[in-house]
Amino acid sequence: MSAKLTSRQVGDVTVIDAAGRITLGEGTSSLRETIRNAVGAGQRKVLLNLGEVNYIDSSGIGELVSAFTTVTNQGGQLKLLHLNKRIQDLLQITKLYTVFEVHDDEAAAVRSF
């Protein structure tokens, strides 16, 4: 039920595949730790794949913002991949679609960095 996050490299882009629920507690902690590990390892191009995330609350949305600022503050870029309709709706409601660059195709997303 809680979030599962795994990282892989595609060229110089770190793709983080997230699945499950990103809600206050384990879900947000896991995301924060994964992003910090990536940035701490020197990664500056991060693609967060939310295709298998079926639930996200306001704390999860806040954690996405935190991930964005963490990577950006290190001179990097964080982009989002494969948003389902629920997450798209949340980004619309919270006006964060103006903040995040969102992609539907992984190869194109990787090339965009």
Partner 1 sequence: MANRGSEQQDGATKRVDATYESQLGSVDTAEMEVLEIAQQAGFLEEELHKISIALREAMVNAVVHGNKYSAQKKVRLKAWTDVQGLHIVVADEGNGFDLSGVPDPLADANLLRESGRGILLIQAFVDEFQVRRLYPAGTEVTLVKYRAQG
Q: How far apart are CA 20 and CA 92, in angstroms?
A: 21
As given in the structure block, the two tokens for residue 93 are 């409601």
Q: Binding of partner 1 at residue 97 (CB under 8 A)?
A: no
- Residue type present at position 14: T
Q: Binding of partner 1 at residue 96 (CB under 8 A)?
A: yes
Smallest gap from Cβ 8 to partner 1, in A, equals 26
Strands of 1-113, DSSP E: 4-10, 13-22, 45-56, 77-81, 102-103
Coil vs helix vs strand at 56? strand
Q: Give me the 29-68 binding string for partner 1, x by CB under 8 A, dash otherwise.
A: --------------------------x-xxx-xxx-xx-x
Smallest gap from Cβ 67 to partner 1, in A, equals 10
List contacts with partner 1 (CB under 8 A). Answer: 23-25, 55, 57-59, 61-63, 65-66, 68-69, 86, 90, 93-96, 98-99
